[in-house]
Amino acid sequence: MIEVKVLASSSSGNCYLIDDGKTRLLLDAGVKLSKIQQAVGFDVGSISGALITHNHNDHSLCVDELIKRGVNVYGNADVASRNDGINHIPEGRKVGIGTFDVIAKGMEHDIPCSCFYLRSLATGDILLYITDTKSVHYKFHDVTQLIIEANYDHRLLLANAYKPSSLKHRIINSHLSIEQASECVNEMDKSKLKEVYLCHLSDEDSDAEMFRHEIEKVTEAKVYICEKYGGVTCRT
Ligand SMILES: [Zn+2]
Ligand SMILES: [Zn+2]
């Protein structure tokens, strides 16, 4: 299996380190560089690439520093426009990075955002990373490991008296709810699915245990909750 290490997961920062035993990649880099350095034992050169979903700071904070340190950074045209050193991944085209074949697909956020479908030639696993999107319209096959946003619960968000309705509207139009994440898992080909990581949970409008339960209703896969400041929790 592909090893998944959560360095941060919330609207204040998102970064995942994945490793198939041959190739190490970052999925998003919305943390300080020091956090990544610590996670790789200060061997930033061991990171073969950083795939950036979109240009919001909670996903791209240390991109420029990674480039300065020689890490290959990849992203859509909007991400690539921020720094000449970024490799543009055209939507739908397969790109090889070490032992991973990567395909990016466009999502629906308030700025251009991609999801990444990664096949490891080393382990045979397929990891799919979906975040910051209003909905998911693609049908994905053969996924063994899924990292998917479960930003909010619709009922909790609507009942939140501290959020102005304009902000609620923005969230609903740019982020994935637990209801949508569960529907996405339920509708995909789940026959090979072994792990689901719920990510980017809202501080106020989420409920980790309830979210885990919702996903467990639709899959036999092990469900992990990504923690805001790194790490995961799972049912023991
Ligand atoms: Zn975000
Ligand atoms: Zn965003």
Domain count, the chain: 1
| pLDDT over 90 at 7, yes or no | yes
Percent of the chain clearing pLDDT 70 (strictly above): 100
Distance 112 CA to ligand 2 centre (A): 9
Distance 54 CA to ligand 1 centre (A): 9
Percent of the chain clearing pLDDT 90 (strictly above): 98
- Average pLDDT for 126-130: 98
Give pLDDT tens digits for 174-198: 999 999 999 999 999 999 999 999 9
Output the pLDDT for position 132: 98
Residue with tokens 């930003």: 151
Cα separation, 83 vs 73, in Å, equals: 10
Distance 220 CA to ligand 2 centre (A): 30
Distance 114 CA to ligand 2 centre (A): 10
pLDDT category of residue 236 using cuts at 50, 70 and 90: low
Residues with CB under 5 A from ligand 2 (ion): 56, 132
Cα separation, 3 vs 196, in Å, equals: 13
Distance 60 CA to ligand 1 centre (A): 10
State the residue range of the domain holding 62: 3-234
| pLDDT over 80 at 35, yes or no | yes
| pLDDT over 70 at 200, yes or no | yes
Distance 223 CA to ligand 2 centre (A): 23
pTM as predicted:
0.97
CATH number for 113:
3.60.15.10
CA neighbor of 83 nearest in space, from 60, 108, 114, 110: 60
Contact 48, 24 (CB under 8 A): yes
Cα 156 to the center of its chain, rounded Å:
23
Distance 103 CA to ligand 2 centre (A): 20
Mean pLDDT, the chain, rounded, equals 97
